[in-house]
Structures are given as C-alpha cells and as structure tokens.
Structure 1
Amino acid sequence: MKKACFKFLAASLLLASIMVLPGSAHGAQSDTLNYSWSANVGPLNPHAYSPNQMFAQAMVYEPLVRYAKGGTVVPWLAESWDISADGKVYTFHLRKGVRFSDGTPFDAAAVKMNFDAVLKSAHRHDWLEFIAQIAQTKVVDSHTFELSLKNAYYPTLQELCLIRPMRFLAPSGFPDGGDTATSIKAPIGTGPWKLVETRKGEHDLFESNDLYWGTKPTFKRLMVKVIPDSDGRAIAFETGEIDLIFGSGGHGSGQIGIDTFNRFAAMGNLETAISHPQATRVLAINSNLFPTNDLAVRQAILHGVAKAAIVKHLFLGVEPQADTLFSPDMPYCDLGLSPFEHDGQKAAALLEAAGWKREKGAEYLTRDGRELALDICFVGNDTLQKSVAEVIQGDLRRLGIKVRLVGEEMDSFLTRQKSGEFGMIFGDTWGAPYDPHSFCSSMRQPAHADYQAQLGLPMKKEIDRKIGDVLISVDEQTRQDLYRDILTTLHEQAVYLPLSYMTNITVHRPQLRGVEFGPTKYEFPFENMHWER
C-alpha cells in the first residue's frame, strides 16, 4: 500500500512540475489543431462500421440532409426535396457546384452509386429499417435524385442524417467492381476535412478540404493522436501535447475520467462545458437466460440497485440520473412511466414471493437447488463500467444475488452482446437522430444486446410487430399509441436498468474559440474552431 501511495504521489508531483500554463502550448499562429482518440480512425469506409470511427466519418463524408439542433432536419447536399402524396417517393434536388475532395463533381449519379453499393450488401445493415424499405433509386437528371420506398417510412429523413451507412464516397474511391462492403480505394468525400496520413498506433492527420463548398475550417490541419487511455489523454492536455478534450466522459470509453473533468473545471483558468443529455447509459438484462428469465428477479434488480448513489459518487454530477430507456426529451418518449425506485424491502419481497429462499448459513438465495447467480459483463479497460459493476455487485449481494464480474476486450464484449451470453451487459442508446426509431428497429435483429435481452419475453413477437408497424405508420396518433405500447411493455418487463443520461464534455484553453457541441453525440465540429486573435 505504501508503495502504491508513493507512486501516486510521484506521478502527481511530476504532473505539477510539467503542467503547461494556458496559452503557452500553442500560439495564435499555429495552423494545426491537436486532438486525440483512443485508436486510429480506420479506413473511413462510409458504408461500413468498426473499426471506422464515427466522428471521423462525419468529418470526411456528408449526408443529403442533416440533423440540426432542436431536432429539425435541414438541407445539406440536397438543397430541397419533394415527397409524394403517398409518402413513398422522395425527390432530392442536389446542391450545385459541390465537388469531392479529389475535384470530381458530386451529382445524382454519384448518389445512386452509393445507394446501390449499400443495397448490394443490405444484410450488413439489417439493424436499419430504412435500407430494407428502399424499393428503387433513380437519376432524374444530373442534380435530381429520386428515391422510391416500399412503404411510407416516416423516419426516412432522420435516417438519411445518420453518419453511416448512407453518406457519399467519390466514384474514384470505389474499389474495382464497385462493392464497398469490404474495402475502398481511398476515403474521398465532400466534407470539410480529408484524411491525408495514418500511422498505426500513432496518429491520423487530416487537412482542410480546399474544395469544400461550405465554410472552410480555420485550421489547415487536424492532428488526431492515438492515446489509448483517459489518464494519458489528461496528461497530454496538461503538457500541451493536445489542445482539446472533446467527447464523452468516463474512464476507458471516455475522453477523460469524470473526476479529472471536474478537477479541470475547478481550476478556473480553463474552459469546460457539459452538453445536454444525448443518450442513455443502460445495462440490458437477459430475459432468455437463468436466472434473469424470471421477471421477479429483473424487477428486484431494478429496485435493488442504489442508482442515485452511483450517479452521485461515480458520475459526479456530469451525467444526470436516468429512469427510463429513452430520455423524455426524445420524440414519443415522454410517457410518464413510473420509475423503479430504490427499495430493498420491495426487492426482497419480490424474490421471496417468486420462491427464492436463503438456506441456513447460505450467503445467496436458491430455488429448486439452483443458486441465484448471474454475470455482469463490461469492457475490461473501461474503469467506469467496472466501478459501476462493482457497486451493483455489492447492492445485489445484500439481496442474496450472486454477481460475477466479467471484463473482456471490446471484440469479445460485442460478441457476447450478439450471442446472448450475459446476465447483464453494458450498453447505451444512440441518441439523436436514432432514438427512438432506429434503436427500436434494431431490437428485432441480433446485432446488439437488445434482441437477446428481449428474446425470453412472452410478447417478443408482438413487440417486434408493433415496431414494424410504427415505422411505417402514416397516422401521428397511431404512431404515438404504438410507441407508448412498445416502451411501456419494455419498461414493465424490466429488461433495462437505465443508469444515467450520457453527456459530452469539452476542456480547452481560453484561447481556443468556437468550441461547441454538435447536434448529435458523434459529431465534433472542429471546422468551427480557431485560435483567438
């Protein structure tokens, strides 16, 4: 213990000795903004997922329409659009004069080429109902593109705002044969940035796109340094190696630890900010695996976890408490659902009524000779998830529930989500513009933990049917009623333990101006940033 304390003290003294005062790291003459991420940004295939990093895909590629603050959809690469009376045909009038970063024109033929490439591998996008609803794509003329749907799919415009898979790669970036499912030649988009260099495990270098049709970035270059852990990132900021911390808070999955963010905020000589709630941090509870296939066990877990204490002591005021799967601020989600209040006595009564008993001298409850035991699965290097899991483990131990902590590499963790090999597993909703429609749509496919968590519910098929119905409903009241049924059922069946509403955070020196949150948690508007002059 003494050695550990000595090492911590030594590290603290070292930090204090090398701390760079605000403004001394970079002057207003610097034309490079230094940022960091936990891994390289990947090949930046606009039609693919991991290892492509979403924030970087959004820097290089653009959508037909864009999600704006306040929840509206605004013109982007399409200046305007028309929707047929039956809601099945969208005609997009494309912005003229737009070029890809290699100089080739952005036109209707390029739009169709990208749509057709995604449709060619539609099975890769089963989570997104919009792709399944596309019936036909058509070039009307060089700057008019027509999209025909099988049904009047109401979230069409919102899902065209998504960062992937429906943004646009230049024809010159397509591989031979046109199939982007596995690779591209080069990441060439219409966005304000272009990727010019990648060094594995070191950095990714972006440059301003001189051909950009909109307001060009002030910085000529954006250096994204690979710093795997949040503590290393905090040190890099303090020593002036990076200029900006921007993204989610929390060790492991976050830019920096929440405690470190609060330390920076208390210093008084740095600019810090917290975004409005952007998504929900949850644990999915498996209804298809013993012992959480018992509704009473799931309900007891929700009543047994001291969530307010977790929010206070682990999230430290940066993330507010969540009591429902989606924030009431999300469309169709302000339903007045009663939260599962922390009540140990009620939790114990639920378990007793369901036949769970503690044998003499036993630490944990049993029923029919089987112990009440489950796994909580988390990303092994995410210390925030680990800390939350440890608190939940302690809370449930008091109820007689045995909890085994399973920390794994990200790939193994994601595999477990899809296979259903979990009792409880961390996850989060996707925020705007995905919630609730895209997130609910994905519940019908084993792409994430949600499908497996719900698979044991007796009304699972009915939930899936209602999700399908709500996505193609043309009547607003019917849509509201269906969402109420879907979300109320999931809430009452206790397949989610909502913890907090996730936020993004920023930390930067006062000389860096124009730092603001994007309309979604995945969009970082670096192009608006500049040094004070």
Structure 2
Amino acid sequence: MSKLASLAVAALLACTVAPAKAQQLTYSWPTNVGPLNPHLYAPNQMFAQASVYEPLVRYRVDGTVEPWLATAWTISQDGRTYDFTLRAGVTFSDGAPFDAAAVKANFDAILANRARHDWLDLARQIDRVAVTGPLAVRLVLKAPHAPTLRELSLPRPFRFVSPAAMGEGGTTAAGLRAPIGTGPWRLVETQLGVSDTFAANPTYWGGKPGFARLVVKVIPDPNTRAIALQTGEIDLVYGAAGQIPSEAFLRLRGQAPAFSAAVSEPLATRVLALNSARFPTDDPAVRRAINRAIDKDTLVRTVLDGIEPRADFLFAPGVPDADVGLAPHGFDRAAADALLDGAGWVRGPDGVRAKGGRALGVELDFVGTNAQQKAIAEVIQADLARIGIAVRLVGEEESAILARQKDGRFGLIFGEIWGPPYDPASFLSAMRAPSHADYQAQRGLPDKPQIDATITAALAATDPAERRRLTATILTALHEAAVYLPISYAVAIEVHRPTVAGVGFGATLNEIPFAAMRPASTRAAR
C-alpha cells in the first residue's frame, strides 16, 4: 500500500470509534481480501470488492437487472449504443462526486488494460465511452452484445473507484492509491494473515448497514472455521459449500436455536474438464465411458452429505437458455465397459486397459488443500478403476492448478461454472479464450472452430429466440462430445449465531449481503 493510502487508512481509523461488540459482525475467509483494486483479479477477493464498489446495474435473483448507480438506460435499435442516466447525489467514500466524469475515468482505466480482461467479451466489444451530460454516459459497442447489462453487473471489472484514488498508472497493479468506492463498506485496516476490517460507509446513498463494523478473520482451515463459529469467535459462515465441513454444517443445522442454517438454490455446477487434446481423453469413447462410470448419486450422498444435488448437465436447468432437452449420460458401468471394449481398449492382467501398447491411464488434478476435491477425486479414481482406467491423483497448490487450466497440462481437472450473472453467456464467451480450462479441454474437438463461431453468433444475437437456438446448438455439441463430467450443482450455505438477524442469500455466489444483516436485538431498518 502506498504512503498516501496508509495515511488515508490511518485517518479513517483515527475517526472511527470502536463500536460495541453488538455493532460488529465477524466473518471469516481463507485469506486476506487483498488490495481491493476493483479492476483486477487475484489476490482481490470478489465478495470484498463487491462490498466496497458498485455497478451501474445490479443483478436480481429472478435473472433480470435493476437500476443501481444508473437509474435508467436506453438501448439503440441496432443494439450497439447504451445511454445511461446516473443516480444523483452519490459520492465516493472520500467525498468525491460520482458523476459521468468518474464513470468515464473508470472505463478508460479498464480499457487501458483491456488485454487483462479479454476473457470477458464486453471488454473486447466496447468501442468508446462518452460523457453526454453531468450525469449521463454513452457506451458504444463495436457490435451488438446481448449480455451487456448482465456483464456490467459483475463484481469486476466494471465497478467504480474514486478518480482521486487512481495513480499515474490508473488502476493497474501499481496504480491504485486506496480502495475508495461508493458501496456500503470501506476497508479501514488490514493485518496480514490475521484479519481485514471494514467500517460502514456513513455517506452511503443506499442506507446505513445494520452493523457499524465488519471484521473478516483469516481462517484457512474449514474445521478451524467451524470451531470458531461454535465458540463465538465468528458470527457467521457464508459461501460455497466447503466453507466448513459438510458434517459440521449438518450438525450445526440441527442445533436450533443456538445456530440457524440454510442452503441456497443451485448457483453453479461443479465439474471436471476432460482434455480432448491429450491422450487418452482425446478418444471420445474414453470421455463418454468416464461420464457413464461415475456413480454420482453415491458420491453426492457420501462425500457431499447430500447438500449439493447431482448434476447431469453443464448448467442447471434453471439457467436462462440452458434447459435444451438433453438426455443425461447416466450411470451405467456396463455401458461404460462396452464403450471401451468397442473402441479397442483391452484389459490387461492388472485390470488396466491398454491399446497400441499404451495403458489407459489419466491424471486428475486438484487443489491439494481442498479436502472436498480430494475426497471427490478418490471416489472417481475408484469408480474408473472398475472399468479399467488407472487414475493418478495430483494435488497441488491452487496457483499451480490455475496454471494447468491455462496451459492445458491436465487430463481431468476440477472446475466450476461461474454461476449467475455469468451463466450462460459470459461463461460460454470465455470458452474461446486459450487462458481457460474450457478452451484447453475443447481444443482437440474437430468442431471447436464451429463451436466458437456459434458462441460469437449467440453473443451478438438480438432476437431471444435465435439466441436460445444458438445456445442449444453449443450445449448439445459439448454434451455429445463429453468434454465435461458434471458432478453436482454447487450451492451456498450459511450458518449464523442468534446474535445476527437479516441473513439471507444474495443473487450470486460472489456477493454477500452484509449490509442487510443487523444485530438481532434491533429492528429491521425502516
């Protein structure tokens, strides 16, 4: 953090009176939240970025978008020009006005680093941004882009930092002076390896948060996090299943009224990507056999304790445009054996199949510190051994797994569909970027160029019926190619102590509605 940013944080702390325990909400996360640059990625944590910075429009649970920092907008008939009217009276937490000039400065900073955001098609499609009035901004695209509003609602990169907090480098890694947004929270202290502290933004236009202070303790281990909740060290566990062990979640859920617990609707899909460009998963029969050999019902029941429902497709049926009437591959070990027999894979004395002198062995890569991934990987290893596929498990640091996803050094590798509002359009869009596991997994498909061209056409389609037709074509091709093994539909969980009220699930997996939570002893804000 720069000297100026340190002084700014010190000033904020100096004027912040430490609230009573009842006015503090204590949460936990495996790492510090990072420098909270709204226009960059790791190590910035999305839930924290979304607590400090806000979008022009906000994604809703029903899949629509609602006005947020923009109160209204119009779209030209050709789908290329968006005119936004900005909310009056909004200020950044440093007192600077949120206006058209600030919006343009942020878009300019994002587009100056456009290559960093090329996974997101909107970043490539923006031609220019113009100020058309003190509170009016025009966004002009190179071509129609159907998911524009949904992509503007994402936790990053299209969110807004005070122009005064930008350095000479704009908002590149070295450019941000301090994390100053318009949101309900402001970061006031970071202790590396210990915690991050947020204070309620007293000038927030959207209403005062129910707690004066939000402390995010760094607790890497899920078991330790569960103990911290039980002992009162933290008040709340919230996030993807796995924040605490599933058995701990089920135990605490049964201890009402000492704890309240809930599970969200499906928000994403837990999948394995199968590399179509690498032996032996370059053989379609092997990929289809893998899809038919895994007993997902037993896996979900034993490893995930039934918290996450079984997944049969890349997207859950409720995802817009994604319910296209496909038939599940289905668990059928005999059918899996027959597929391999028919493709010439012969069992050897050790039970492992081979063809042309090469054994049917595949590497499954997972994050070594993720106990849930490890347990799932072991079940898959055992199931595939039954049909003659030898699986070597490789557990590595998260950064190493991300590197494998980007360069294709995997046979099978864990991944997760991003969830709303990314799905399906933004996720499909990223399949065309070589830096993603999806591109690498699909690279060996003979119709990969056609798949990419169809994605491009779907993103530009202004007619909803045509967009649905094109999306169905893409999803059918990927399903028939069996380049994914859907495992379960990921959910969010929450467990909280009785001292906290107003806990509910947000519209996405990456935004936590801290501002709506309040001490249980107080009434809901009117």
TM-score (norm 1): 0.93
Contact 1:120/1:179 (8 A) holds in 2: no
Q: Give the CA deviation at 1:179.
A: 4.6
1:96 is the counterpart of 2:88: yes
Instruction: Indicate the residue corresponding to 2:234 in structure 1.
Output: 242
State the Cα distance separating 1:181 from its structure 2 match: 4.7
Query: Cα distance, 1:311 vs. partner?
Result: 0.8
Q: Is the 8 A contact 2:362 2:391 kept in 1?
A: yes
Partner of 1:70 in structure 2?
A: 62
1:487 and 2:483 matched: no
Q: 1:332 aligns with which of 307, 314, 321?
A: 321
Tell me the residue number matched to 1:48.
40
State the alpha-carbon separation in 2 of the partners of residues 527 and 310 from structure 1. Answer: 36
CA shift for structure 1 position 358: 1.4
Map 1:178-327; keep pairs closer than 5 Å: 178-250=170-242, 255-269=243-257, 270-327=259-316
Aligned to 1:121: 113
Distance in 2 (alpha carbons) for counterparts of 1:355 and 1:478:
41
Q: Which moved more, 1:190-199 or 1:332-341?
A: 332-341
CA distance in 2 between partners of 1:490 and 1:39 (Å): 35
Q: Look up the equivalent residue of 1:520 and give its one-letter code.
A: T
Residues 31, 219 of structure 1: 8 Å contact kept: yes
After superposition, give the CA deviation of every residue in 1:160-182 in whole Å (9 maximum; x if it has no partner). Answer: 00010100010111012425354
Partner of 1:504: 492
- Inter-partner Cα distance in structure 1 for 2:412 and 2:51: 35
Deviations 1:359-382 (A, max 9, x none): 3x2320000000000000000000
Residue 511 (structure 1) shift: 3.1
Aligned residue in 2 for 1:9? none
Report the Cα distance in structure 2 between the residues aligned to 1:183 and 1:323, rounded to whole angstroms. Answer: 44
Cα separation, 1, equivalents of 2:175 and 2:128:
24
Q: Which residue of 1 aligns with 2:160?
A: 168
How far apart in 2 are the matches of 1:186 and 1:436?
34
List per-residue Cα deviations over 1:284-311 (Å, max 9, x = no partner): 0000000000000000000001111111
| Residue 407 (structure 2) aligns with | 419
SS class of match (1:138)? strand
* Aligned counterparts of 1:317 and 1:367: Cα–Cα separation in 2: 38
Aligned pairs for 1:355-504 (under 5 A) are 355-359=344-348, 361-504=349-492
Runs (5+) with no aligned partner, structure 1: 1-26
- Over the matched positions of the two proteins, sequence identity in percent amounts to 54
Q: CA deviation at 1:510?
A: 2.5
Check conservation: 2:235, 2:499, Cα contact below 8 A.
no
Distance in 1, Cα, partners of 2:464 & 2:22: 52
Question: Match for residue 4 of structure 1?
Answer: none
**More displaced stretch, 523-532 vs 202-211:** 523-532
Residue 527 of structure 1 deviates from its aligned partner by: 0.7
What residue is the counterpart of 2:524 in the other structure?
Answer: none
Given residue 327 of structure 1, which amino acid in structure 2 is its aligned partner?
A
**Alpha-carbon contact 2:37-2:171 (below 8 Å) kept:** no
Residue of structure 2 equivalent to 1:20? none
2:26 to 19, 27, 34: 34
Distance in 2 (CA, whole Å) between partners of 1:362 and 1:493 is 29
TM-aligned CA deviation for residue 328 of structure 1: 0.9
Provide the C-alpha distance between the structure 2 equivalents of 1:262 and 1:146, rounded to a whole number of angstroms: 50
Partner Cα distance (1:456, 1:29) in 2: 57
Of 420-429 and 29-38, more deviation after overlay is shown by 29-38
- Write the distance in 1 (CA, Å) between the matches of 2:455 and 2:173: 28
Structure 1 residue 85: deviation in Å?
Answer: 1.5
Report the residue type matching 1:331 in the other structure: P
Give the secondary structure class of the aligned counterpart of 1:507.
strand
Runs of 4+ in 1 over 3 A off after TM superposition: none
- Shift of residue 234, structure 1, vs aligned partner: 0.6
Match of residue 14 from structure 2: none
CA distance, structure 1, for counterparts of residue 414 and residue 23 of structure 2:
40
Distance 2:465 2:511 in 1: 32
Question: How far apart, CA to CA, are the structure 1 residues paired with 2:369 and 2:181?
Answer: 34
Q: Does 1:158 align with 2:150?
A: yes
Per the normalisation by structure 2, the TM-score is: 0.94
Shift of 1:239: 1.0
Amino acid at match of 2:354: T
Paired with 2:261 and 2:357, the residues of 1 have a C-alpha distance of: 54
1:354 and 2:343 correspond: yes
SS at match of 1:147: strand
Q: Deviations over 1:119-148 (max 9, x none)?
A: 111111111001111111100111000000
| CA distance in structure 2 between the aligned counterparts of 1:179 and 1:521, rounded to whole angstroms | 25
Give the secondary structure class of the aligned counterpart of 2:494: strand
User: SS of the counterpart of 2:346?
Assistant: coil
C-alpha distance in 1 between matches for 2:440 and 2:137? 38
Alignment correspondent of 2:4? none
Residue by residue over 1:339-370, the C-alpha shift from the partner in whole angstroms, topping out at 9 and shown as x without a partner, is 111111100010011010013x2320000000
Instruction: Show CA shifts across 1:159-213 (max 9, x none).
Output: 0000101000101110124253544110000000000110110000000001100
Q: Which runs of 5+ in 2 are unaligned?
A: 1-18, 522-526
Give per-residue Cα distances to partners, 1:416-454, cap 9 Å, x unaligned.
111111110001001110000000000001222101000
Structure 2 contact 168–175 (Cα < 8 Å) conserved: no
- CA distance, structure 1, for counterparts of residue 308 and residue 44 of structure 2: 27
**Counterpart-to-counterpart distance in 2, 1:110 and 1:181:** 19
